[in-house]
Amino acid sequence: MAAQRTYGGVSADQRRAQRRAALLDAALEIIGTEGLDRLTVAGLCGRAGLNERYYYENFDGRDAVLTALFDGIAEELATAVLAASQHAPADTYGRAHAAITAGIGVLTDDPRKAQIALIISAATPDLRARTMRTIRGFAGLVAAEGMDFYALAGQAPDPAIGFRATYLVGGLVQALGSWLHGDLPMTREELIDHTTDVFVLLGEDLARRLREASSTDPDSGSSDIGPT
């Protein structure tokens, strides 16, 4: 195997990662400001200032670029939401508001990201399926965070948990898309506040229902299982 050369203290793997990042930054700019149809190999490499051979070093086609962009935004979103949740106020509304503010912030502080997420999510059947898997992943995150917050982790599995989490995440995606297209005449802060209200309403209602079910189950143990 050929030795991996280091130039200026930067290894070959680091240089490749930098080129990949430059190509993805260029793709973000092209799709986010000009549209998906403007994404070509020549245009992408020209915007990134790289030879076309570096495109083929990192990607085997346009769908690979779109997938990498989509996954990067989803990872950034999950990281922001989890960090906000961990440093949020202890009350239900404060925690939900912090997480939702962080998530919507990722997608709207840089408007290109929300546009790209919406464009990519409908680009091809494979990417539509990937979008649905991502929504299910975020629904799982919401469910786990809710179960942890309400101290319901010991509860028997209930399909209502997954249903409500999926409903909330899917509804937020739809509402955000409508808001971005100007169909919901409200400020970003109002969007965040209304979204928080819905998350808290459905979360606390379900927690109450699960507690009541647990308190009437002779095998459930103590019914004092979480904050009210």
Check residue 147 and give its pLDDT: 87
- How far, CA to CA in Å, does 170 sit from each of 66, 107, 136, 167? 21, 15, 9, 5
Of the candidates 131, 127, 115, the residue with the CA atom closest to the CA atom of residue 181: 115
- Helix (H) / strand (E) containing 210: helix 188-215
Amino acid identity for residue 15 in this structure: R
DSSP-assigned letters across all residues of 157-187: P-HHHHHHHHHHHHHHHHHHHHHHTT-S-S-
CA-CA-CA-CA dihedral for 161, 166, 169, 174, to nearest 10: -140
The domain covering 1-59 belongs, at the CATH homologous superfamily level, to Homeodomain-like (1.10.10.60)
Q: Where are the domains of the chain?
A: 1-59, 62-215
**Residue 105 tokens, joined:** 């912030």
Amino acid identity for residue 84 in this structure: A
DSSP at 91: S
Task: With beta carbons less than 8 A apart as the criterion, state whether 112 and 29 touch.
Answer: yes
Number of other CB atoms surrounding residue 135 within 10 Å: 18
Check residue 5 and give its pLDDT: 63
Of the candidates 73, 175, 164, 174, the residue with the CA atom closest to the CA atom of residue 127: 73
Check residue 62 and give its pLDDT: 93
Check residue 146 and give its pLDDT: 87
Ranges of residues in the chain whose predicted pLDDT is under 50? 1-3, 220-228
Radius of gyration of the chain (CA): 22
Burial of residue 53, with CB atoms counted within 10 A of its CB: 0-12 exposed, 13-18 middle, 19 or more buried: exposed
**Residue 226 tokens, joined:** 């979480």
CA 197-198-203 angle, to 5 degrees, is: 100
Q: Rounded CA gap, 57 and 53, in Å?
A: 6
Check residue 210 and give its pLDDT: 86
Task: Considering the domain delimited by 62-215, tell me its CATH architecture.
Answer: Orthogonal Bundle (1.10)
CA 29-35-40 angle, to 5 degrees, is: 75
Check residue 226 and give its pLDDT: 42
Q: Rounded CA gap, 96 and 107, in Å?
A: 17
Check residue 156 and give its pLDDT: 65
